[in-house]
Amino acid sequence: KMYSYMIMDIGTASKSAAKADRYPCALVYRRFLFHQPVTVLHLFHTLSGLALAAFNFGSQIYHSAVCVLVQFLMLRLMGRTVTAVLSSFIFQMVYLLAGYYFTATEEYDIKWTMPHCVLTLKLIGLSFDYYDGGKEPSQLNAEQQRAALPTVPSLLEVCGFSYFYGGFLVGPQFTLRSYQSLVAGQLTDSPGKPPNSVMPAMQRFGLGLLCLTIYAIFSPHLSDSYFLTDEYGAQPFWYRCVFIMLWAKVILYKYVSCWVIAEGVCILSGLGYNGVDENGNHRWDACANMKVWLFETTPLFTGTISSFNINTNAWVARHVFKRLKFLGNKILSQVATLLFLAIWHGLHSGYIICFSMEFIIVNVEKQALVKDSPVLTKLANSPFYPLIYVVQQLFHWLFMGYPLVPFCLFTYDKWLKVYSSIYFCGHLFFFTAFMVLPYLRKALVPKREKKQD
């Protein structure tokens, strides 16, 4: 199973608050448009999304319009071909990277490229799904079968899908098939009526506001800029490490708040409807980008990763990692996937360092999770486990923050200064562990006796 890589650049906490502006759109849709023809719904989603884009980015909305139009023409003129998929991939990525090149600075930029990186994945995924629609079902896995498009969509349909207010700015990722089910009135727990999703949506909205409040209160005291001050460099080593740990925990609430508030919009519109569970309860997690409880409680790096940016992780797994199966090597597929993610985020060196470090951390943790050791099993079931859990959490968040430093500081002169101040402790620890753990495992796990004939 592919590792779910968690980091995604989505804007500042102010964008979390701005995401709340989408709730009125969902309410208008529920109250006045639910029973309207799909053409009316496509127009509403297109125009409302364009209005929100114009409000945030002004005339720069033409960038998204160009890419949507070109993508539609590729679907129409090039058909279900590998050439169409490759052309879409190359065009959309080159356009995005050109945008990064001409607009990026050494600071955090809130420009048209912020929502465009989300749109880029959406349009590339559209080309893959249309291509898959021409294959026999037996050639597709279950995910591909659910997303495959049997017919070419209309221009208005592609526009409604691209500009849908619930996912235009910061995601989540969803397929055109899901959007088609939404406008057909199928994503509801009450057939023929708007979904009973107000309370689930408000719960996510409230949780998002709580995360945003935590970020707003503590982020001024744990800012990125402090890393570059002489005061930080003059602090003791332990203080610098603890600052990274606390900073990482707080900085991630910025992302959590964005995604949870956005999820509430999707739930309110019905796009978040996900059928019923084994107990017959209706589920509203189809657009969930966060498992907040897991995020808060897991002591594992892989646990945090699997709780974070869920829909984007699923997109990358479906359209990049699994389609690299022809390489015949899982490690190569993972490296290529990480390289794609780093480039998709931007052209700064910090992204490469972040994802390469995460690759090492996740692989080390995978080796360290020895489940067949009697010694470690006994320790995990001992009365000392609560203390072990606390130590795990401290260690976990220290080294969750370690790869976040270059991700948030962008350029090598900045992240190199911070890493030098803590003596590259993360690199030293995990590279050493990577080499030592195979031998340690042999010592902890008893050899299995061979059965005699």
User: Across 174-266, where does the E strand assignment appear?
Assistant: none
Tokens of 61: 């909305």
The verdict on whether 309 is a catalytic residue reads yes
Ramachandran angles phi, psi of 276, nearest 5°? -120, 155
Q: Residue 364 — φ and ψ, nearest 5°? A: -65, -45
Tokens at 355, concatenated: 């994802």
What tokens appear for 47 in the block? 């125009």
Query: Rounded to an integer, what distance in angstroms lies between the CA atom of residue 364 and that of residue 358?
Result: 10
User: Which of 42, 345, 348, 396 is labelled catalytic?
Assistant: 345
What is the DSSP annotation of 81-103? SHHHHHHHHHHHHHHHHHHHHHH
Select from 262, 272, 245, 261 the least CA-distant residue to 212: 261
Based on the number of CB atoms within 10 Å of its own CB, is 360 exposed (0-12), middle (13-18) or buried (19 or more)?
Answer: middle
Question: Do 306 and 297 contact (CB within 8 A), yes or no?
Answer: no
> Using CB atoms within 10 A of its CB, is residue 22 exposed (0-12), middle (13-18) or buried (19+)?
buried
Q: How far apart are CA 173 and CA 121, in angstroms?
A: 8
Which helix (H) or strand (E) segment holds residue 146: the answer is helix 142-147
Active-site choice (289, 309, 311, 313): 309
Beta partners for residue 282, in sequence order: 276
Per-residue CA distances from 301 to 136, 186, 392 (Å): 38, 37, 10
Q: Among positive and negative, which fits the CA dihedral 293, 283, 39, 70?
A: positive
Residue 93 φ/ψ region, left for φ over 0, alpha for ψ in the -120 to 50 degree band, beta for the rest: alpha
In 18-104, beta strands by DSSP E: none
**Alpha-carbon distance 176 to 392, whole Å?**
41
> Can 427 be counted among the known catalytic residues?
no
**CA trace torsion 160, 162, 166, 171 (10° rounding):** 170
CB 434 within 8 A of CB 367: yes
- Give the active site residues: 309, 345
